[in-house]
Amino acid sequence: MSETSENIGFISTRIAGTDGVTLEAYKWARVLAGEGHRCFWYAGRLETDPAISQCVPEAFFSHPENQWINERIWGKTVRSPLVTRRIREMTEYLKDTLYDFISRFDIRIMVLENVLAIPMHLPLGLALCELLSESHLPAIGHHHDFYWERTRFSVNAVNDYLDMAFPSRDRELQHVVINQAAQEELARRKAVPSLLIPNVLDFENPPAPVDSYASDVRAQLGLAPDDIVILQPTRVIPRKGIGHAISLVQMLGDPRCKLVISHEAGDEGADYMETLTRYAKKGGVDLRFVATRIGDVRQMNSEGQKMYTLWDLYPHADLVTYPSFYEGFGNAFLEAAYFKKPVLVNRYDNFSRDIEPKGFQCPIMEGYLTREIVAEVRHILEDSAYRRDMVEHNYQVALRHYSFAVLRRRLRTLIINVRGLSNI
């Protein structure tokens, strides 16, 4: 290992699947490995190489002990001595496993993936806070979204712990956020500076052409060759604003338009999905939920059918809808740009502040659909030259602002910063 390389340990509750935290952690690790660093993994659920990983089941946010604690601290204003004792016992146990991880892989820098931002696993955050104070090990807090952004955490019996550890103000902890609003709010609430590093994609390397495995996506999903596929590449949850996508298809008035939703309902359950289904039926919109055919990896399901990835689906889309009311960043917007697909977006706060000023071209809602927006979408779908110019422009804008090259430069700065902190 060279003098400039480091053993870097990624720590979270889960590094598995296709959630945003996991995907961005993988991107960071890929870039850091390209710079000569060695990356290791600690979490309660992992899909990484066991030779460079330490899986501690108790660190997973859905572990029964953590669920027991969560049921007694959120939505409550008082906690019992028993709850405090169980929190402390779990914290001590996890801190010991973290020390084992650091020793086993000779970790020199930690990357804490959202674990000091969202208290889905309070004891793990506390364990890391104490470890930082005890070890003075340099660390990077990669904060994707904070607890004060989620109403579910607003009433709680653990404000003392939240103040201490989410995030902590440790001298060796370099904070990283993904949008300007988070940067400002973190400074206001915690009086700590942070570096803004947006989510990125590998725009230096365009997606490969559709291969033989994914060539039959439309046919497998029951779509005709001349259907207009309007893709909603999100979970089925209210803040995604999927009702606007249904209204768009209805207002387009073209029976070839099919609205395809890629992901499952998520934590909110099936009620929202049922509401959307009724709304689509009433408006005569052909709505397809295809989550049962979309997975993390390509494989055959129990019925012998092909399972596709989201990235197998994107090339077959004619338009992407992204009418969210709130997003921490906007990965689906970048994915649409990467696959050179036009995208309809709602002007949510972080889009208007962070992404829109870069100069992307797309129809933008202001919280509701207008006839002008629908006419613009129809123009995009019908005029291939207009659509091509738009998506090529967006790709070049994203290449300048949201590529791996941008991430590489900022991570170099970050590593220099944390090395300096360790020598203060």
Average pLDDT over residues 5-10: 95
pLDDT digits (tens, 9 = 90+) for 228-257: 999 999 989 898 999 999 999 999 999 999
Cβ density class 298-329: b for 16+ within 10 Å, e for less: eeeeeeeebbbbbbbbbbbbbbbbbbbeebbb
Three-state DSSP at 63 gives coil
Three-state DSSP at 45 gives strand
What contacts 188, CB < 8 A, 6 or more positions away?
A: none
Of 84, 60, 62, nearest to 72 by C-alpha is 84
pLDDT: which is higher, 2 or 395: 395
pLDDT digits (tens, 9 = 90+) for 159-187: 999 999 999 999 889 999 999 999 999 99
Which residue segments constitute the domains of the chain, with CATH numbers given? 7-200+404-421 (3.40.50.2000), 217-401 (3.40.50.2000)
Burial class (CB in 10 A: 0-12, 13-18, 19+), 274: exposed
Q: What is the mean pLDDT of the chain?
A: 94
pLDDT digits (tens, 9 = 90+) for 130-162: 999 999 899 999 999 999 998 899 999 999 999
Place of tokens 């300007």: 180
* Confidence tier at 11 by pLDDT (50, 70, 90): very high
CA separation for the pair 320, 259 (Å, rounded): 10
Give the pLDDT score at 4: 77
CA separation for the pair 250, 259 (Å, rounded): 10
What pTM value is reported for the model? 0.88
CA separation for the pair 230, 106 (Å, rounded): 49
Place of tokens 């720590």: 11
Pairing of strands 364-365, 343-346: parallel
pLDDT digits (tens, 9 = 90+) for 29-68: 999 999 999 999 999 999 999 999 999 999 999 999 999 9
